[in-house]
């Protein structure tokens, strides 16, 4: 018997179908997403502003790149491969919206180089939404998102 994950929001076969449909529509698949992740973090590591923030926290890039490939597989192809909690990992970082904008600039540039136009549009739209909500969650967790009415 196959193991059952609790609680599955979609059955594995429904996930596979959705992933196949998204792959056909966007030209994205695991190999393209892995290429995107590697090229993107290559730029990040060379960036004078963002590079040092990552370098201070990541010693071994191999697990980070694998985790980010799973993340993008979940986000772009709905495969459910990523299991993690990004917000707590960003709360303590020395970042504000300006850093997210820089991150997005490099992401848009890389996606345009690596993906088909439809694939690039798909991942860029998701990255923009996640960056906004991550920035909001980080500010909120730091207690600066809501005005102090006391």
Verify binding: residue 86, ligand HEM, rule CB under 6 A: yes
Verify binding: residue 89, ligand HEM, rule CB under 6 A: yes
Q: Minimal CA–CA distance to 69: which of 95, 25, 38?
A: 38
Verify binding: residue 40, ligand HEM, rule CB under 6 A: no
138-147, long-range: CB within 8 Å, 24+ apart, which pairs? 138/87, 138/90, 138/91, 138/93, 138/95, 141/87, 141/88, 141/91, 142/91
Verify binding: residue 33, ligand HEM, rule CB under 6 A: no
Alpha-carbon gap, residue 29 to 31, rounded angstroms? 6
Backbone angles phi, psi at 143, to 5 degrees: 85, 10
Specify the residue, 130 or 141, whose C-beta has the smaller distance to ligand HEM. Answer: 130
Verify binding: residue 50, ligand HEM, rule CB under 6 A: yes
Q: Which of residues 64-83 bind ligand HEM (CB under 6 A)?
A: 67, 71
Binding site for ligand HEM (CB under 6 A): 50, 53-54, 57-58, 67, 71, 84, 86, 89-90, 93, 95, 99-100, 103, 127, 130-131, 134
């Amino acid at each position: 018997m196959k193991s059952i994950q609790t609680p599955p929001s979609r059955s594995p076969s429904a996930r596979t179908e959705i992933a196949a449909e998204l792959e056909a529509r966007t030209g994205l698949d695991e190999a393209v997403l892995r290429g995107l992740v590697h090229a993107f973090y290559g730029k990040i590591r060379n960036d004078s502003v963002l590079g040092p923030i990552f370098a201070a926290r990541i010693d071994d890039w191999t697990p980070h790149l694998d985790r980010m490939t799973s993340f993008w597989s979940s986000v772009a192809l709905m495969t459910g491969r990523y299991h993690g909690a990004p917000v707590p990992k960003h709360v303590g970082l020395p970042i504000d919206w300006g850093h997210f904008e820089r991150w997005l600039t490099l992401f848009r540039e890389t996606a345009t180089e690596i993906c088909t136009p439809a694939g690039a549009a798909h991942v860029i739209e998701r990255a923009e939404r996640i960056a906004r909500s991550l920035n909001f969650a980080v500010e909120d967790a730091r207690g600066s998102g809501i005005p102090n009415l006391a």
